[in-house]
Chain A
Amino acid sequence: AQKITQTQPGMFVQEKEAVTLDCTYDTSDQSYGLFWYKQPSSGEMIFLIYQGSYDEQNATEGRYSLNFQKARKSANLVISASQLGDSAMYFCAMREAPGNTPLVFGKGTRLSVIA
C-alpha cells in the first residue's frame, strides 16, 4: 500500500493566488514526520516545511503553510501569493520512527504558475 498519496499530477495557479497541494499518508506509527520538498527542473530537492505528528499547531514557513489534519491523515501544502518561480514539482514525504529511516515520497504534483 502506498504510504504517501498525492492525487494531483498537475496543478495550475494564477500568479499571486494561493494554491493547495494535497497529500494523504498512511502509517500506524504514533511518531512520524511529514515533509514537503520542491524540485525545480534542475533536479535539486529543496526543503520547504516540516510537520511533526505531535505538533498541535500547523507549520508555517514564509509563504508555505501545512494544513495538518491528523484524524484524516492529510498534510496539504498551501502556497500563498504564488510566484512564477514556484513552478516546479512538489513532493510530500514521510519519515516514520525510529528516526534514522529514509523519507518515503509521494508521486509528486507539478505546479505551474501562470502570469
Chain B
Amino acid sequence: GAVVSQHPSRVICKSGTSVKIECRSLDFQATTMFWYRQFPKQSLMLMATSNEGSKATYEQGVEKDKFLINHASLTLSTLTVTSAHPEDSSFYICSAREQRGVGTEAFFGQGTRLTVV
C-alpha cells in the first residue's frame, strides 16, 4: 500500500538553531500534504497544508516565518523549524493521500520527535 516516509524520527537541537523535517510519499504522487503537531497526551493539531508548487496554507496561530514549508515536488514536502526554542519541542507528523475523494485514508509518516535544549 501507499507509504509515507518521514525523516528524521528523532532530533535534538540547540536553542536558536533550525531543524528540517522531510516527508516523502514513496509510491504515489501527493499534490497536497498536511503537517500536524502533537503535544504529549494531546491530539493532532493541523499546522499547515502543503501544496506542491505553491505557498503553504497555515492554520490560525501558526507562525509561517517560524515553520517554513516547502513542497518542491510531488513526492516531497519539508518543514523547517527556524530558530527553534524549547517550546517548539513536540511531535511533528505529516500525512498525504493519493486521491481527492473524502473516502481515501490518509497515510502518515512515522513522525519526528523534536527536542530543543
Contacts and interface: CB of A to CB of B under 8 A. Distances in A.
Interface string B15-42: 0000000000000000110100010001
B102 A43 contact: no
Interface residues of A, number: 27
B105 interface: yes
Given A43-B91, A100-B97, A107 B105 contact: no
B102 A97 contact: yes
A52 B110 CA distance: 26
B95 interface: yes
A44 B95 contact: no
Nearest to A37: B108
Contacts of A100: 31-32, 97, 100
Interface residues of B, number: 26
A35 interface: yes
Interface string A26-38: 0000011101010
Contacts of B99: 99
A99 B98 CA distance: 11
A45 B96 CA distance: 12
Given A44-B111, A100-B97, A107 B43 contact: yes
B101 interface: yes
Interface string A2-37: 000000000000000000000000000001110101
Given A47-B105, A53-B102, A91-B43, 6 more contacts: A43-B111, A100-B32, A100-B100, A102-B95, A103-B95, A106-B43
Interface of A: 31-33, 35, 37, 42-45, 47, 50, 52-53, 91, 95-100, 102-108
Interface of B: 31-32, 34, 38, 42-44, 46, 49, 91, 93, 95, 97, 99-108, 110-111, 113
